């Protein structure tokens, strides 16, 4: 299925990523919504995002108990699906992944060539 105007979501699990999270959030215009999941972070990553990020695409979700990266990602996925997003990209909050690569990961999905895309 080809989708020329997809609703792309980015899910960012947030645990001990306060020093990097704002740089990771600065995704390109192709991203419709950004879900930052504060996974009961002892550094207050969620509070930091809430206080310092003015990007209207950002939705902050707080896990009341630490779920680990997998649980945090699933929390974000569920929110993105509930909001009708077509494509979901998981990006780590520590800045080790380049958000500029999002279009490269999304292209095979939106063109109908793949259901899943990842780096090697």
Asked if residue 11 lies in contact with residue 80, where contact means CB atoms within 8 angstroms, the answer is: yes
**Amino acid 55: pLDDT:** 93
**Domain-wise residue ranges, the chain:** 8-110
Instruction: Look at strands 58-62 and 8-14 and give their pairing.
Output: unpaired
What would the CATH number be for the domain defined by 8-110?
3.90.550.10
The pTM score is 0.92
The pLDDT of residue 2: 60
Q: Over 90: is that where the pLDDT of 37 sits?
A: yes
Whether residue 120 is predicted with pLDDT greater than 80 in this model: the reply is no
Instruction: State the DSSP code for 9.
Output: E
Q: What is the mean pLDDT of residues 59-86?
A: 96
C-beta of residue 109 within 8 angstroms of C-beta of residue 115: yes
């Amino acid at each position: 299925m080809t989708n020329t105007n997809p609703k792309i979501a980015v899910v960012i699990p947030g645990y001990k990523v306060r020093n990097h999270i704002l740089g990771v959030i600065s995704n390109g215009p192709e991203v419709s919504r950004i879900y930052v999941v504060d996974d009961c972070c002892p550094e207050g990553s969620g509070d930091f995002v809430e206080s310092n990020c003015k990007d209207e695409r950002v939705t902050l979700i707080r896990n009341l108990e630490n779920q680990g990266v997998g649980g945090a990602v699933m929390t974000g996925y569920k929110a993105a699906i509930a909001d009708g997003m077509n494509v979901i990209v998981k990006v780590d909050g520590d800045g080790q992944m380049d958000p500029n690569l999002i279009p490269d990961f999304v292209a095979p999905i939106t063109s109908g060539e793949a259901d899943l895309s990842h780096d090697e």
